[in-house]
């Protein structure tokens, strides 16, 4: 009996580490191409209606809330050290923002990988706030490997997203339209890939 207890005690650390299931973790970026909006979806402006804008077309009145539904955007994703985050992502956006462009937003997410025949699909949610200079979002993603030969993996990402405009646009487009000189990716974060049952 004493030997059995000692054997079980010696195996305990092995069981704890085996339950971790982490395949990879590290850092990642999200970079918007110049024309990131693939489909504008629908926009409502509760409390204020619409106004015409010479660059964006129709936008919400400055006193109105900003609600988006089913907008579709794309971005380039890169992860370090794993290449299981390298590819092109697509996000649907549903937003309920106030007149300052602050508030929650959420949607679906897919990442088509450059080096694998499977992809990631899942969902995300975020909250956006204005800090006086830019809009900052904390975005949380949960996705699963999907496809015929997909491994049983789950992806979690937490990204700090930065926007220099009330209506999100890539730095490249803002630089072209307004002569600004914004650089770098619009999102920087961390990721964890785990094996799941």
3-state secondary structure of 144: strand
114 CB-near residues (< 8 Å, 6+ apart): 83, 86, 87
Residues 6+ apart with CB under 8 A from 104: 95, 96, 125, 126, 127, 128
Assessment of whether the complete model's pTM goes beyond 0.75: yes
| Cα gap 149→113, rounded to integer Å | 13
- Predicted confidence at residue 16, as pLDDT, reads 39
Q: Which stretches of the chain drop beneath a pLDDT of 50?
A: 1-18
Based on its alpha-carbon atoms, the radius of gyration of the chain, rounded to whole angstroms, reads: 21
pLDDT the model gives residue 170 = 95
Confidence at residue 19, expressed as pLDDT on a 0 to 100 scale: 52
């Amino acid at each position: 009996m004493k030997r059995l207890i000692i054997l079980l005690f010696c195996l305990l650390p092995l069981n704890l580490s085996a339950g971790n299931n982490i395949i990879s973790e590290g850092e990642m970026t999200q970079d918007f191409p110049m024309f990131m909006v693939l489909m504008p979806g629908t926009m409502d402006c509760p409390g204020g209606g619409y106004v015409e804008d010479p660059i964006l077309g129709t936008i919400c009145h400055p006193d109105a809330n900003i609600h988006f539904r089913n907008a579709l955007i794309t971005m380039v994703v890169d992860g370090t050290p794993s290449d299981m985050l390298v590819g092109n992502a697509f996000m649907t956006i549903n937003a309920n923002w106030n007149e300052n462009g602050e508030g929650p937003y959420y949607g679906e997410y897919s990442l088509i990988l450059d080096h694998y025949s499977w992809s990631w699909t899942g969902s995300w949610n975020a909250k956006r706030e204005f800090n006086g200079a830019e809009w900052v979002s904390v975005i949380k993603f949960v996705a699963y490997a999907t496809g015929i030969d997909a491994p049983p993996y789950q992806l979690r990402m937490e990204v700090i997203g930065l926007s220099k405009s009330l209506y999100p646009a890539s730095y490249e487009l803002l630089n072209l339209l307004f002569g600004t000189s914004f650089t770098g990716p619009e999102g920087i974060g961390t990721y964890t890939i785990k094996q799941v049952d």
